[in-house]
Amino acid sequence: MNESKDTALFSREVVFTAIKDSFIKFDPRIMVKNPVMFITELGALLCTFLVIFSKADRFNIQIAIWLWFTVFFANFSEAIAEGRGKAQAESLKKTRTSTVARKWTGKTESRINASELKLGDQVICEAGDVVPSDGEVIEGIATVDESAITGESAPVVREAGGDRSAVTGGTRVISDRIIVRITAEQGGTFIDRMIALVEGAKRQKTPNEIALSLLLAGLTLIFLLAVVTLKVFATYSGALAGQDLSSVITIPVLVSLLVCLIPTTIGGLLSAIGISGMDRLIRKNVIALSGKAVEAAGDIDVLLLDKTGTITFGNRMATRFYPAPGVNEVELAEKAQLASLSDGTPEGRSIVVLAKEQFQLRGEKFHPSQIEFVPFTAQTRMSGVNISDQGSVHEIRKGASDAVIKYVTNLGGKTSPELKKIVDEIAMSGGTPLMVAEGARLLGCVQLKDVVKGGIKERFAELRRMGIRTVMITGDNPLTAAAIAAEAGVDDFMAEATPEMKLKRIRDEQEGGHLVAMTGDGTNDAPALAQADVGVAMNSGTQAAREAGNMVDLDSNPTKLIDIVETGKQLLMTRGALTTFSVSNDVAKYFAILPALFGALYAGGGLHGPLSRLNVMGLGSPESAILSAVIFNALVIIALVPLALRGVKYRALGSEILLRRNLLIYGVGGLAAPFIGIKLIDLLITKAGLV
Amino acid sequence: MNTADVIQVLMSLLTLAICAPLLGAFFSQVYEGKRHLASLPLGWLEKLSARTVGKAYDEEMDWKRYARALLMFNALGLIIVFLMQLLQSHLPLNPQKLPDVSWHLALNTAISFVTNTNWQSYSGETSLSNFVQLFGLAVQNFLSAATGMAVAVALCRGLARRNEKTIGNFWQDLVRSTVYILLPLSLLLAGVLVSTGVVQSLSPAHHVVTLSGVEQVIPLGPVASQEAIKQLGTNGGGFFNANSAHPFENPTPFSNWLELLSILLIPAGFAFLYGRMVGNLKQGRIIFGVMMALIVAGLGLSLWSEYQPNASLGGLISLEGKETRIGVTGSILWSTFTTAASSGSINAMHSSLTPLAGGVAMLNMMLGEIIFGGVGSGLYGILIFVFLTVFLAGLMVGRTPEYLGKKIEARDIQMSVIAILLPSACVLLGTALAISLPQGLAGLSAKGPHAFSEMLYAFTSAANNNGSAFAGLTANSPFYDVALGLAMLIGRYGVILAVLAIAGNFASKRHAPPTAGTFNTNSVTFAALLIGVILIVGGLTFFPALILGPGIEHLLMNAGKVF
């Protein structure tokens, strides 16, 4: 996450709105959905009543105020998490302003309001028009500015047929003309859904969140019982000791104890954690269509990755020159460069670049008028140049080895067994040998290879430590696939893969209990995307693919899958860490409040009975002890808001190390922190004379 | 403590650690229907039982059907024991001509024995006829124990099975537990106990005139047979009111050691059975290790407290309420074992333990009888905590929590929370109720914080199906009989239903193979974590109550103030 974006979140405007929303959230009808905070609010209400109608001493007033703050801080954390999404939603809504659609019936064109469009209608979009709704290009090709949703200013090409046929409502056509068939109902467009998602309006609790809520509600109930019965036990114990404890064990004190014990920290931050998880994805330009998908992302243990674009740069590139016996490497490079000068394919360009990089050759020896380009044809399976130099013509050719050998032998040249060996070796290692000849003379060959992206091998090793298996999907033959798989360090590969095989592979993995994630863009990827537990559709892909997946990557960057998994894990870890922290905090709070309640029991008229020995923190007075615990409890919520929003730092380590690290920080830390915090607050408020 | 004491402690723990894995292996053969040691001599008994049950004996049951069968069977047992007591004067084998039992005592006793609690509001030898003891209580000693074992086995199956609806057959589990495990082990133990001098007789009480000329009634009865199942089935209801402190129940050091060991034998064996049934032996060892660690910690604290020079006794250690022939170490070993396991049999009066030792006894029960615990119930009890631990900590490795390859989901958590909440609620609300009512306060004998401890102990013992008592409380009153009876029912069947629901839910889940990113439950870290969760979640609920009872009493005693 980048720092500047993070600070922007706490901009004055967002904070302002969040404060306003926090007050709205005091509504008990909203609050009741969160039992932990609902109980806290009831407690605050009860104390306020007591202050107003019964006993308005300084202590009770302060308790009531801090209880309200506890609720407020929890509301604030949720509001600010939502606020981040809302800001994003606002900018999206601007694209939804009423547009005019040019409806096309096949013969005539009529102008109607975009909101009147129906499923299956066809519309015409020309340069300057805003695409009125989601649809599929059925005729033509155009460049489209999608910056409204992707934030990316470079326009993209959309064309009928193929995998780039989807257009999104709200984007702008900047050149040419297309006919679009509408594929989304009004209110159900991609932008509509995005707005709903980022606003949190349609946010449903995820399965794990529900389970955690149940646990928190259970803990709340247990502590409620413990505190309610404690009143009875205390009164009775007082009677047994011949003391009247009713002035010490008052309702505000018991409410304080209850609020300190119930898991307010996690209860208050739980929904903020969930919202910010989706929010973090949005800021990585990934739209998760449900919170459930984000959670599932954390559980993924098999990644299906397309080779092209994810593991390798899209195209094969020249990586080395192998001269034939008796040929100088520089000569081979020079001739290969010449043969490729007019070749616009990526492979051709890469040969030019390699020759330049290795031998500083620039191909400027001949004037362009001397060079005649011989393009690639399916018949010759070669391309090259004819260079007229001082009356003679040099025919330089490059192409598949069998084609070039045939060409050379036809011209009466000889093949070289050494070169044949090199060709085989290149093929074995997953590369493509490209042979170069000048006339009847074999010069050697160029190794073309899929170049594996830098750092990807380390990334896969990292994934392996996280317990995630990577499977490379490629259309290559098994030999090539195996070589690239080995080089990239993936765990498994699928060669000559078809969409059906992908789907079957996903089903098989799921049968075995694995959770599978994959990316895809084409319509034929749609079934597999739908079947995968996390299916990330590329925004550049077809409408079918975007409908089938449960996430859309606006950047259309397949490597993003790894980030998505990390975000899912981070979300779950944050939840676990804060729950652990919250529960282990209770120990210290007991040591603060119980001696305050029972310190005077059996004191024989004095202040320090046997149980005052539990006051290990040496807190100033019973009142300051209770107040400090309540203040700490409230402040810890607001102090942890940034952590809840940003998420616990995730490192790709084995589960055992991760667990020990987090246990140390949030478990042991959770035990220790309140001892220190409560003591400090106690010193402060005693010094300030608040109690 | 002297060397003999240390040897006694170490020997007990060591024998347990040696026997448990062997028993676990045997148990797994029994429940998986394989051939085993006992199938040759006792197979006919299972066949006979199967024929009695009929076709239903071999049918797989889903959890609801399993629960229905269990509840019906237990309800029937409850009614029979209840009626037997109400009509005991009309029934045979009543040589002392004991009158019919009051309705509330009969109800309490019936619930108590059917729920494997064996809380005794009555004094066995002076209230119940041999007929009731033999055909009512002794029968339930077997069947209530077998019920607990069946539930545990059903949960093991639930965890082991994949994509299935059923969790086994209740009748089969019940019969196999009784016929192959409880019966042979009891026979074996009873035989040895008789050899040490435990009474086994159907004759009426002896009337003797002592040297001082006073006539004394010495009750006899079928003691040894009841003693064996009382210990092995973590029942705890003794033939005599003095329980295993009575020389007719527990005459020699050898009998004491044997009885002590037999409290924990089956629960410990179940930890290993679990490992075998779920196909993860290491997990069984981890659970056994956690139980062992907790019991050793409790034992250590109690012994330390007991061996502190007692200011009130002029610096001596307290032997009041303990059998001098058993001594402090023997008594504390027993009190720790019996409260850790849900036995409730005693060889010393727990009311007379030092406050901390009494507190440990209470805490052992409050945690839900999971430190070895009752037969079967101890295992399913600790597994509930395992689920909670996995759920809490599992998240911290960045995956939704999973245990043995299965996701822990909302329903499992809901049921686990219920299983923990119900007994706790019974303890707290029951004690509060007793304090608030004159009927509750009427039963007290002690003063000061000890009075509070007595009530707290009673409800803790009942709701967690332990059955031991701080002897001070007179519990045979309509209020206590009914209130404690309810606590026992809720504490038993509330938990059992929740556990069976979890078993059914787990059985239907799919299994995910572990990866490097999976939360590892076979590690020492996990064991430590489990202990932490048990102490924090279980302990925090009762920390205030314990402070007001044993806590303050301990501090006051140190200051020389006793009640």
Please write the tens of the pLDDT for every residue from A500-531: 888 999 999 998 889 999 988 777 788 888 99
Chain B contact present for A329, CB below 8 A: no
Q: Highest mean pLDDT range out of A312-316, B121-125, B311-315, B517-521?
A: B517-521
- Residue B79 is predicted with a pLDDT of 97
Closest approach of A495 to chain B, Cα-based (Å): 25
Tell me how far apart the alpha carbons of residues B116 and A95 are, in angstroms, rounded to a whole number.
70
Count of CB atoms situated within 10 Å of the CB of A413? 17
Please indicate whether residue A563 is annotated as part of the active site.
no
Q: Which residues of B touch A236 (CB under 8 A)?
A: 435, 452
Indicate whether A286 pLDDT > 70.
yes
Does residue B285 have a pLDDT over 90?
yes
List, in order, residues 6 or more apart from A540 with CB less than 8 Å away: A156, A163, A164, A166, A521, A556
Which residues in chain A are contacts of B440 at CB distance < 8 A? Answer: none
> What average pLDDT does the segment B109-128 reach?
85
Residue % of chain A over a pLDDT of 90: 33
Q: How confident is the model at residue A151 (pLDDT cuts 50, 70, 90)?
A: low
Chain-chain contact of A658 with B510 (C-beta, under 8 angstroms):
no
Answer yes or no: is pLDDT of A549 > 90: no
Q: Cα distance from A667 to chain B (closest Cα, Å)? A: 10
Report the distance separating Cα B334 and Cα B346, nearest Å. 7
Q: Report the alpha-carbon distance of residue A494 to residue A502 in Å, rounded.
A: 8
Kindly state the DSSP code that residue B322 receives in the 8-state scheme.
Answer: B
Q: Which pLDDT does position B276 carry in this prediction?
A: 96
Contacts of A580 (CB under 8 A, 6+ apart): A662, A663, A666, A667, A670, B392, B393, B396
Residues B398, A575: C-beta atoms closer than 8 Å: no
Q: How far is B297 from chain A (nearest CA, A)?
A: 19
Model confidence at B341: pLDDT above 70: yes
Domain boundaries, chain B: 3-203+218-285, 339-558
With beta carbons under 8 A apart, name residues in chain A contacting B454: none
Q: Under DSSP, is residue A385 helix (H, G, I), strand (E, B) or coil?
A: strand
pLDDT at B527: 95
Q: How far apart are CA A200 and CA A194, in angstroms?
A: 10
Among B437, B429, B425, B426, smallest CA distance to B477 is for: B437
For residues B293-314, average pLDDT: 87
Q: Kind of pairing, strands B215-218 and B206-209?
A: antiparallel
Angle between helices B281-307 and B377-394 (to 10 degrees): 100
Q: Chain B: give the shortest CA distance to residue A37, in Å.
A: 19
Does the CB of A233 have a partner CB in chain B at under 8 Å?
A: yes
Q: What is the mean pLDDT of residues B339-348?
A: 86
Q: Which ranges of B308-444 does DSSP label H, i.e. alpha helix?
A: 327-340, 355-366, 377-394, 410-436, 438-441
How many other β-carbons are positioned within 10 Å of the β-carbon of residue B32? 14
Is the pLDDT higher at A508 or at A153? Answer: A508
Confidence check: pLDDT of A224 > 90: yes
Residue B487 and residue B462 in contact, taking contact as beta carbons nearer than 8 Å: yes
- Pick from B340, B372, B375: nearest CA to B147: B375
Instruction: Name the pLDDT band for A1 (thresholds 50, 70, 90).
Output: very low
If you compute the radius of gyration of chain B from its CA atoms, what whole number of angstroms results? 23
Report ipTM for this prediction: 0.92
Identify the weakest region by mean pLDDT among A13-22, A553-562, B430-439.
A553-562
pLDDT for res B76? 97
**Within a 10 A sphere around the Cβ of B298, how many other Cβ atoms?**
24
Please compute the mean of the pLDDT values over residues A348-363 and round it to a whole number.
Answer: 86
Answer whether B517 sits within 8 Å of A666, measured CB to CB: no
Helix orientation angle between A207-240 and B539-546, rounded to the nearest 10 degrees: 10
B538–chain A nearest CA distance, Å: 10
Please, what is the Cα angle at A202 between A199 and A207, to 5 degrees? 120
**pLDDT mean over B187-204:** 88
Contact assignment for B518 to A468 by CB distance below 8 Å:
no
Provide the token pair at A126.
């020309």
Give the model confidence (pLDDT) of B520-559 as tens digits: 899 999 999 999 999 988 778 899 999 999 899 888 888 7
> By the 8 A CB rule, do A527 and A499 touch?
yes
Contact A576 B395 (CB under 8 A): yes
pLDDT band at A478 (very low <50, low <70, confident <90, very high): confident
* pLDDT value at B166 more than 90: yes
- Flag if A226 and B428 touch (Cβ within 8 Å): yes
> Out of A87-91, B400-404, B506-510, which region has the weakest mean confidence (pLDDT)?
A87-91
Backbone angles phi, psi at A382, to 5 degrees: -145, 160
A570-616: per-residue pLDDT in tens? Answer: 999 999 999 999 999 999 999 999 999 998 888 876 778 888 889 99
Q: Chain-wide mean pLDDT for chain B?
A: 90
User: What pLDDT shows up at residue B68?
Assistant: 97
Q: Is the pLDDT of residue A161 over 80?
A: no
B chain contacts of residue A587, beta-carbon cutoff 8 Å: 536, 540
DSSP state letters, B107-126: HHHHHHHHTT----SS-HHH
Q: What pLDDT shows up at residue B148?
A: 96
Buried b (16+ CB within 10 A) or exposed e, A270-301: bbbbbbbbbbbbbbbbbbbbbbbbbbbbbbbb
Q: Using an 8 Å Cβ cutoff, are A507 and A499 in contact?
A: no
Nearest CA in chain A to B541: A226
Range scoring the smallest mean pLDDT among A214-223, B151-160, B446-455: B446-455
So what's the pLDDT on residue A157? 83
User: What pLDDT, on a 0 to 100 scale, did the predictor assign at position B124?
Assistant: 65
Q: Which residues of chain B neighbour A223 with C-beta distances below 8 Å?
A: 540-541
pLDDT reading at B443 higher than 80: no
Arithmetic mean of pLDDT, B482-501: 97
pLDDT band at B180 (very low <50, low <70, confident <90, very high): very high
Q: Is A241 on the interface with B (CB under 8 A)?
A: yes
Q: Which residues contact residue A379 at a Cβ distance below 8 angstroms, ignoring those fewer than 6 apart?
A: none
pLDDT value at position A594? Answer: 92
For residue B469, what are the contacts with CB-CB under 8 A and spacing of at least 6?
B119, B120, B344, B346, B350, B351, B457, B458, B461, B475
Q: Does A601 touch chain B (CB under 8 A)?
A: yes
pLDDT band at residue B40, thresholds of 50, 70 and 90?
confident
* Residue pLDDT, tens place only, A296-316: 898 898 999 888 767 887 677
Q: Is A167 helix (H, G, I), strand (E, B) or coil?
A: strand
Q: Residue B29's pLDDT is what?
A: 95
Closest residue to B541, CB basis, from A222, A513, A580: A222
